[in-house]
Structure 1
Amino acid sequence: MAHGLVDVRIYTTLPNRLPEFVRLYEELAWPLQLKYLENCLGWYTTVEGELNTVVHIWGYADQADRERRRNAMAADPAWGTYLKEAAARGLLIRMENRMVRPTGFFSAFQAQKA
């Protein structure tokens, strides 16, 4: 699938709570996101720089594809369960996401590799 739109999500946890967040995410959110969003391009924790940070990256064909997939996930009661549990634990202090598109030269580079 070509990724015309990429969602870069950056979450920062409270100090020493990153492992707990990762466990909770892996148990409750990861299966749902794979089911509905499907196109995970990466899921990382920081080693250097701003600590206690998770970066996960999702690819979509376009904004309509993103909205359709995220709306379907949001309608699943299991997603609500995850959100409630994450909020109850108070693990996150900041969440941000950036919507980015590949440049023409990078798209050409990817096409050559395929």
Structure 2
Amino acid sequence: MVSPWLFAQWGLDLIGPMPEGKGQVKYAVVAVDYFTKWAEAEALATITAARIETFVWQNIVCRFSIPNIIVTDNGRQFDNTKFKQFCSNLKIHLCFASPTHL
């Protein structure tokens, strides 16, 4: 997929578990802009819909503006009523991609 302009479409995914770090963090949420390939990431101790919503608000919306599309996998942190409502309120189209394993 290619985005027609800067910061209009973001990919969002989770990494982990990794070896535990300071503050008991062992996961990371990562967002990548489809046009510029700019990446934003944040370490997390736990993965919840609220933490994902806060990450999107602070690291995407407040820094780069409201995106048109967020593409993610079918993880329960993304595919739930709270996050879907958050995206709907901001008029962000939430797309789910099928995960593939090579």
Please give the TM-score of this superposition, normalised by the length of structure 1. Answer: 0.27
Find the structure with the greater CA-based Rg. 1
- TM-score for both structures, normalised by structure 2: 0.30
| Greater RCO, CA 8 A, separation 6+ | 1
| Structure with a larger share of its residues in helix | 1
